Amino acid sequence: MAKLIRELLETVEWRLEETIAAFTVTRAINERCMNDVSLNLKERINSRSGFWKPVTVGLQTTVFLGICAILDKNSDDSATLYLILKKLKNTRPELPTIPANLEIDLDVIRTRYSRFRHKLFGHNDINREVIANIFDEAGFTWDSIASDLAELEYIFKVLWHLESGNNIPDRPSAEKMIYPYRMFVAKSQIDTLEFLDEICNANQATLLPRIKKQYDPLY
């Protein structure tokens, strides 16, 4: 049975929530370490690299795969912004004119990320080290990724409004619109910062034994 446009929007919203939350957590960790004047947090994170490395790699992978997932093109089997845009154009002739630049903007972001999706994040290319070096030189920054996510959020809100029969919001108005997924993103950021505070304030001499006792039955 074909999915309704609203159902597709809800599925995309779910993936958007996961992706933005993962990015928010990763950025919060990075910025907190960069601003760690006392070096207390950096030291404790570096001393537990066996935990933090897979965590940060997993978060980064979630961000890049999430962006690519909602930008799959030419597929009717995946809930994507492209598919929603296509269905709105083909099945809702009564809607206001859909701006042509929406698909162009999606294409720009998709091109930037898709070349790394299969070879680096989704699959294990035999030349993975070469691809990783190309990725490092591709110019991704915290601000550039945040800007791309903001653009995807805006387009998502435009499509949601169109599906609801409402006028297209301008960017300042759209930025003020708080969707349910944003509440989870905010909680992710708060919880991350509070967790980092706990790490800084924990007594290292008592923290590790307590953790071992909790997870190691032989301790």
Give every CB contact of residue 153 below 8 A, 6+ residues apart in sequence.
Answer: 16, 20, 174
Question: Contact 105/111 with Cβ under 8 angstroms?
Answer: no
Give the pTM.
0.85
3-state secondary structure of 74: coil
Cα 167 to Cα 158: distance, rounded to the nearest angstrom: 8
Question: Contact 30/188 with Cβ under 8 angstroms?
Answer: no
What is the chain's pLDDT, residue by residue, as a tens digit (219 residues)? 457 999 999 999 999 999 999 999 999 999 988 887 667 888 888 888 899 999 999 999 999 999 999 999 877 889 999 999 999 988 888 777 788 899 999 999 999 998 888 777 877 778 788 788 888 888 889 999 999 999 999 999 999 998 888 888 888 888 888 888 889 999 999 999 999 988 888 765 554 554 444 445 444
Tally: H helices and E strands in the chain: 10, 0
Question: Contact 23/63 with Cβ under 8 angstroms?
Answer: yes
Instruction: Tell whether the torsion through CA atoms of 118, 124, 130 and 134 is positive or negative.
Output: positive
Rg of the chain taking only CA atoms, in angstroms: 21
